[in-house]
Amino acid sequence: MKEVKANKEDSLRKRHLHLVVQSKNRKELLSHDPEAIIRARKLQQQQDALKSAEAITESLKRTKSLLEQQLERSGKTLEKLVESNQVIVKTMEETKNYKDETLQAKNERLKLKQQERKDFIIIACAWVLYILVIIWILIARYSFLLTWMF
């Protein structure tokens, strides 16, 4: 807002100066004085140099403004990049934790399978022993039947 107001004031001041210089130039040119013509040309050269300097100054101000905007954008981009990097690091840590937990779960599953096999073998052996005991008891009780049959 301040820049717009300052630009308007500069523009009005330049316009007023230009009008004053033009009126002086007209008076000198109408007087037909050779020295006046030389002074008018020098004055015109000075005005041209002034306009050129003002144009360069305005261009430099715009360039400065653009550079400031670009710097601000770069700063925000850098902040976003740092933030994204932190998210990536956190994600990598979580991935490592999940991998470790997956390996632990796999090891536990293998241990449980081994325990299940052991339990199956123990139960099978117990059934075989149970069946043998029943056969032995039957033979011991009914041995007279076996001798009678054979």
Tens-place pLDDT, residues 75-87: 999 999 999 999 9
* Secondary structure tally for the chain: helices H, strands E: 3, 0
Helix, strand or coil, per DSSP, at residue 33: coil
What is the percent of the chain with per-residue pLDDT over 90, rounded to a whole number?
53
Model confidence pLDDT, tens digit, residues 61-115: 999 999 999 999 999 999 999 999 999 999 999 999 999 999 999 999 999 999 9
Specify the pLDDT at position 22.
73
Model confidence pLDDT, tens digit, residues 12-33: 777 777 777 777 666 666 666 6
Element housing 63 (H / E): helix 34-141
d(CA 33, CA 135): 150
Q: Are 91 and 83 in contact (CB under 8 A)?
A: no
> Which band of pLDDT confidence, cut at 50, 70 and 90, is reported for residue 149?
low
Specify the pLDDT at position 81.
95
Is the whole-model pTM more than 0.75? no
d(CA 62, CA 18): 24
Specify the pLDDT at position 11.
75
d(CA 103, CA 116): 20
d(CA 15, CA 22): 10
